[in-house]
């Protein structure tokens, strides 16, 4: 086993880094850890609940020290709060020790919450992102939730603007994120500017394997694949999803029963979910939201693989609760995506 380019002697726990699996993210050349750090839980009460700031800062630093070298965030997470917290945490970390992505979307978050209407608003918003993070550049800049913008706006405004950020050395690689996967494929085919990375979320989990259908498409184009929200944005946990979660009441109820079943068997559905997704082929890295070291350590332990008992319980859960022969998702559920859209548009720092 070899050390990744992000290894920094004297900072990293070398033993942990050697135990981490790293894979090159498409054609970017970035050698990313199999387990990645999702910063959405750093957004505060409006996203996934409150947290202890000092503990969260220590969690970020400990994650990197133990070999997690990719972090993803977005300005919509707590209206910049997640980025600001990361900025505090990363101030004590060598810049070469990690890769980081943040996003640009149609949602302005500089106070007015107006829709992004121009390149200038994209650039000013991104400058605030860099200021929040305390960085000169991010490794990947991503068009966030492309399904909420008209295709022509993504192609003719967002992507060219992000390409300019890359030319200005404020970002290095360009990506897309979305819940429905097909719009990303269409944008990739139509864009005159190459897309290097995609983030797909809640689409390669216990109840939905939709991402697997698209992996050959992305691989054929050398696009890096990031699998995010592998607990389904909290729906596959005993605590359950946040109030804004766009899933149907039926799916939420099924997942709650599955979580209770897992608890009766002496395991956590969240751990099973993370373990399941980590073993699926195709994606180079898997984003898991974290804001304390207990969660971090659980995920690092799960990275080593599920026990035979856990695998058996996971098979039982899939058979009992998700064996309908179809994928469960909320892509075309009337009203549910609007609920999530309003959350994105109105979220406030608590």
Chain segment 222-280, per-residue pLDDT in tens: 999 999 999 999 999 999 999 889 999 999 999 999 999 999 999 999 999 999 999 99
Q: For residue 284, give the CATH number of its domain.
A: 3.20.20.100
Extract the tokens encoding 78: 């707590």
| HSE-CB of 336 using CA atoms within 13 angstroms | 15
Question: Does the residue 98 lie in any domain?
Answer: yes
pLDDT of residue 338: 52
Domain count of the chain? 1
Rounded to 5°, angle at Cα 241 from 85 and 104? 45
Q: For the CA atoms of 119, 125, 129, 135, what is the dihedral angle to 10 degrees?
A: 50
Point out the catalytic residue in the list 7, 70, 77, 148: 77
Residue 323's pLDDT band (cuts 50, 70, 90):
confident
Chain segment 84-122, per-residue pLDDT in tens: 999 999 998 999 999 999 999 865 443 444 455 688 889
Question: Does the residue 265 lie in any domain?
Answer: no
The boundaries of the domain holding residue 71 are 18-242+276-301
pLDDT of residue 116: 58
3-state helix, strand, coil in the chain (%, to 5): 45, 15, 40
Question: Does the residue 338 lie in any domain?
Answer: no
Question: Does the residue 181 lie in any domain?
Answer: yes
Q: Using the predicted structure, report yes or no on whether residue 40 has a pLDDT greater than 70.
A: yes
Q: Note whether 50 and 350 are within 8 A (CB).
A: yes
Could you give the CA distance from residue 153 to residue 187 in angstroms, rounded to a whole number?
11
pTM over the 0.85 mark: yes
Backbone φ, ψ for residue 166 (5° rounding): -65, -40
Could you give the CA distance from residue 273 to residue 97 in angstroms, rounded to a whole number?
28
Above pLDDT 90, what percent of the chain? 80
Average the pLDDT over 205-219 and give the result.
96
pLDDT of residue 333: 56
Question: Does the residue 102 lie in any domain?
Answer: yes
DSSP 3-state assignment of 10?
coil
77 is catalytic: yes
Question: Does the residue 329 lie in any domain?
Answer: no
DSSP 3-state assignment of 70?
strand
Question: Does the residue 61 lie in any domain?
Answer: yes
Question: Does the residue 106 lie in any domain?
Answer: yes
Q: In whole angstroms, how far apart are CA 45 and each of 2, 17, 40, 74, 77?
A: 40, 32, 11, 16, 10
């Amino acid at each position: 086993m070899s050390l990744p380019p992000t290894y920094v002697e004297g900072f990293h726990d070398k033993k942990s880094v050697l135990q981490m699996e790293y894979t090159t993210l498409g054609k970017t050349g970035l050698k990313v850890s199999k387990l990645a750090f999702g910063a959405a839980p750093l957004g505060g009460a409006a996203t996934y609940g409150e947290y202890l700031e000092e503990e969260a800062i220590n969690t970020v630093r400990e994650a990197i020290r133990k070999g997690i070298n990719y972090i993803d965030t977005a300005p919509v997470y707590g209206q910049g709060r997640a980025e600001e917290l990361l900025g505090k945490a990363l101030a004590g970390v060598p810049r070469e020790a990690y890769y980081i992505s943040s996003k640009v979307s149609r949602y302005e978050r500089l106070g007015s919450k107006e829709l992004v209407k121009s390149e200038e608003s994209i650039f000013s918003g991104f400058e605030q992102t860099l200021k929040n993070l305390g960085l000169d550049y991010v490794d990947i800049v991503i068009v966030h939730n492309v399904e909420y913008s008209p295709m022509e706006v993504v192609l003719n405004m967002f992507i060219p603007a992000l390409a300019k950020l890359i030319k200005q050395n404020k970002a290095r690689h360009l990506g897309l994120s979305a819940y429905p996967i097909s719009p990303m494929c269409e944008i990739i085919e139509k864009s005159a500017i190459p897309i290097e990375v995609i983030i797909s979320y809640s689409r390669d989990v216990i109840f939905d394997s939709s991402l697997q259908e698209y992996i050959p498409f992305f691989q054929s184009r050398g696009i890096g694949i990031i699998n995010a929200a592998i607990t389904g944005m909290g729906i596959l946990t005993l605590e359950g999803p946040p109030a804004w979660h766009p899933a149907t009441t039926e799916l939420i109820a099924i997942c709650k029963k599955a979580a209770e079943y897992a608890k009766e068997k002496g395991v956590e559905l969240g751990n099973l979910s993370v373990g399941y997704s980590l073993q699926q082929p195709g994606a180079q890295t898997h984003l898991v939201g974290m804001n304390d070291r207990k969660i971090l350590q659980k995920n690092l332990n799960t990275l080593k693989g599920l026990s035979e008992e856990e695998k058996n319980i996971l098979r039982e859960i899939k058979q009992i609760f998700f064996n309908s022969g179809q994928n469960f998702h909320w892509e075309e559920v009337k009203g549910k995506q609007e609920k999530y859209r309003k959350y994105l548009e109105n979220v406030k720092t608590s």
